[in-house]
Amino acid sequence: MYLGDYIVIERQTGPFEFEACCVSTGTGFIARVVPDKQHLFEDRTFTDGHPRACPFLRPVCDGRIVCTIHDTRPYQCRAFHCTTMLVYSPDGTLKGKVNGSLAITAHDPVLRELWNMNLGAIPFSSPDIEQRMRDLLTSNGYRVE
Ligand code: SF4
């Protein structure tokens, strides 16, 4: 939400392609808006209302805010992993990680299904969605940090 000072568009090179730059490192990169996000990218309402946000960020209808150039995002963004929850089994084995977008990475298919099925039943804009998901995991025997 505040990376607009650091990730800037320098030149448009195609309908959905841009020369862009990470200002902090002076690193240029070619940004291509992924096909299924192009309709989102075309709507500038969010960008106009949030001038300090990364120019490639856009909201989706369920309340999430997504990167529209995910496949060509710069190194700094690829290297950044925001983990908001670590999920452990009762014996203390790490079973999964949840990121800031509430996406889970888990090798355990039971945990993955439990998470994804229940997450889909809660509107993403619910202010207590993270706590409800934590409670769900706890009530199913997982420990959450
Ligand atoms: S991940 Fe995408 S939207 Fe987020 S700062 Fe990087 S380029 Fe911008």
66-110, pLDDT tens digit by residue? 999 999 999 888 877 678 899 999 999 999 998 877 888 888 999
Single out the residue in 23, 58, 79 at which a domain terminates: 79
Distance from Cα 77 to the centre of ligand 1, integer Å: 6
Higher-confidence residue of 80 and 37: namely: 37
In percent, the amount of the chain with pLDDT more than 90 equals 62
Cα torsion 15, 50, 76, 105 to 10°: value is -100
Higher-confidence residue of 84 and 52: namely: 52
Residue 45 sits in the same domain as residue 15: yes
Protein residue with its CA nearest to atom 8 in ligand 1:
54
Domain span holding position 101: 83-144
- pTM for the model stands at 0.63
Q: Give, for 40, the enclosing helix (H) or strand (E).
A: helix 38-42
Higher-confidence residue of 91 and 63: namely: 91
Decide whether any atom of ligand 1 lies within 6 Å of the 67 Cβ: yes
Single out the residue in 79, 113, 129 at which a domain terminates: 79
Please say if the pLDDT value at position 113 is more than 80: yes
Residue 58 sits in the same domain as residue 107: no
Mutation test residue for ligand 1: of 21, 69, 72, 99, the one with most atoms within 8 Å of CB: 69
